[in-house]
Amino acid sequence: MKIIEKRDFYIDGKWVAPEIPSEYDVINPATEQKIAVISMGSQADVDKAVAAAKKAFDSFSQTSKQERLALLKRILEVYKKRKSEVAEAIKLELGAPHKLAHGAQSGVGVGHLEGFIEALEKFDFEERTANGDLIFKEPIGVCGLITPWNWPINQIALKVLPAIATGCTVVLKPSEITPLNAILYAEILDEAGVPAGVFNLVNGDGPNVGAALSRHPDVAMMSFTGSTRAGIAVSKDAADNVKKVTLELGGKSPNIIFDEEGALDVVKRETRRVFSNSGQSCNARTRMLVERSIYDDAMRVAAEAAKGQPVGDPDEEGFHIGPLVSALQFERVQALIQAGIDEGATLLAGGIGRPEGLETGYFVKPTVFGNVNNNMRIAREEVFGPVVALIPFDTEEEAIAIANDTEYGLAAAVQTNDAEKAMRIARKLRAGMVHINNSDIGYGTPFGGYKMSGTGREGGQYGLEDFLEIKAVSVPS
C-alpha cells in the first residue's frame, strides 16, 4: 500500500510544517509494516499552538451557549459523514477488528457528542446562592489535552468536546502510535467551522510535546488519559504553574460473581468481555472474583471461552480480536503472562507466544489464569492485554475486601440476581464506576476513578464542569 504522509500540524486554523523536521513511522500492528509518516513536535511547535489558542480564547470564551451548541451540532453532522474514514484509520493503526472499528471505536464519536449536546442544553453557567450571591461558571482558559492509543476517538471526544462546549481553547497531543484518527478529527473540526485557534493539534511524544504542554505557563489546565506513571509525570510538570490537572489513568477492575443460577454463563460472557479490544481497555474487568463453591467449574468455563476466542486479521468480518498495538505492548504483556506462570498461578488457557498461524503481527493468545491470589503481579498490575485472572472468595465480605485491595479504583462489577445485595456491595466498592450484571454506563454518565485511577470525571455535565472556573460575585442588597 502507499505510505500515508501527514507531516503537518494543525495550528491556528491551518496545516503547518513543524519548526524542526523530525519524522516518525506509524506501524500497522497486524502486519508490522510502516503505513504512515508523521512529524514529531518540539517546544517551538507547542509554543506556536499555545499562542494561537491563547489569542483565540479572548473571543471564543465570550461566545454564547447557543453559538457553541450550534457549533457542536455542525461537528456532529460532519463527523457522521466521515465516521467510516475514522473507523478505517483506527482499524489500520490500532489493529481494531472491522466490526469493532466501525462499531464502538468510531461510534463513540457520535455518542459522546450527542451526550455533550444534551448536557450543554441543560447546563446553567450562572446561578444564585441561598444568600443571593451570583455564581459564574467560566471557561478555564487554554487546555492541554493528551490522549492515548487504546480508545483514541473516545478520549479525544471526551476532552475536545467539553472544552469547546464551555468556551475553552485547546492544544491536543494524541498518541503518536495512533495519530491518523486524530488528524482526521482535526479535518472534521475544520470542516465544521471551528474558529481558528480554538482547536490545535501537535503530534509528538510525552517527554517532549506532552511535557512542554504540561509546563507551559499559558496553559491553564491539563487533561490526560494514559498510564498512572505518565499521569504522575504530567502532574509534576504542571505543579510549578499550579495549573488544574484532570487524570484518567489505569485500572485493575474486580468482577464479583456469586454462586447463583446462570453464574457459569456469566463467567463465559465476562471472560469474553475482557478480551474485547484485545484487553486494551483501562476499565477491563480483569480480576474475576468467583465464589469458591463454583470456582472449579468457573475455571473450566473461562478456559473454554479463551480457547474458543477467535484471533485474526482486523480486515476480517465477524467477532474476533486483533493484535496488540505495538511491539512494546506485546513484550509487556508477554512478560506479565510469564510472571503469572513463574509466581505459581495455573495457566488454564493461552500463555506466551503468538496464536498458531499468526507468526506476523503483535497477536497474543487469549489467556486465563486460575488459582490466583491477590498478591500476584497479574492480580495487581494492569496487564492491558487479553488476560483474565480468577481469584476465589468464600464470603461477600471477603469478596469486597479483595476487590478493594488494589491501588486502582476505576471500575468494578457485581454479578448477582439479588438486587438488594448488588446495591449493598456497590456502595462498599472503592471505584468510580460499578456495573451491575450485564450493564455499562451511558453517554453523559461520569467516567473516572478513585485512588491511582485518577482525578476528575469525563462525560456529560461532570465533564463540562471540569473545564470551568467558579467565580462568586457578591451583589449589594
Please, what is the Cα angle at 228 between 223 and 233, to 5 degrees? 65
Q: Which three cell numbers stand for residue 349?
A: 488457557
Listing DSSP states for 29-98 in one string gives: TTTTEEEEEEE---HHHHHHHHHHHHHHHHHHTTS-HHHHHHHHHHHHHHHHHHHHHHHHHHHHHH---H
Residue environment code for 181-199, b if the CB has 16+ CB neighbours within 10 A, otherwise e:
bbbbbbbbbbebebbebbb
**Can you tell me the distance from the alpha carbon of 42 to that of 202, in angstroms, rounded to the nearest whole number?**
9
Alpha-carbon distances of 92 from 108, 174, 313, 315, 357, rounded to whole Å: 18, 16, 11, 9, 20
Of 93, 176, 248, 291, catalytic? 248
**Can you tell me the distance from the alpha carbon of 279 to that of 283, in angstroms, rounded to the nearest whole number?**
10
Beta-bridged to residue 171, according to DSSP, are 144, 200
Start-to-end CA distance of the chain, whole Å, equals 72
Phi then psi dihedrals of residue 310, to 5 deg: -70, 145
- Tell me 271's DSSP state: H
In 3D, which of 89, 83, 117, 118 has the Cα closest to residue 103? 83
Q: Which three cell numbers stand for residue 202?
A: 501537535
**Can you tell me the distance from the alpha carbon of 278 to that of 90, in angstroms, rounded to the nearest whole number?**
14
Question: Which uninterrupted H or E stretch holds 137?
Answer: strand 134-139
Give the distance between the most distant pair of CA atoms in the chain: 78
Beta-bridged to residue 321, according to DSSP, are 311
In 3D, which of 255, 268, 253 has the Cα closest to residue 399? 255
> Coil, strand or helix: which one is 291?
strand
CA 399 vs. chain centroid, Å, equals 27
CA 367 vs. chain centroid, Å, equals 23
Asked whether 390 and 299 are in contact (CB, 8 A), the reply is yes
Q: Verify whether residue 248 is a known catalytic residue.
A: yes
Measured in residues, the chain has a length of: 477
Q: Which three cell numbers stand for residue 80?
A: 457522521
Sheet holding 367-370, edge to edge: 346-349, 367-370, 387-393, 287-291, 254-257, 411-415, 433-436
Catalytic residues: 248
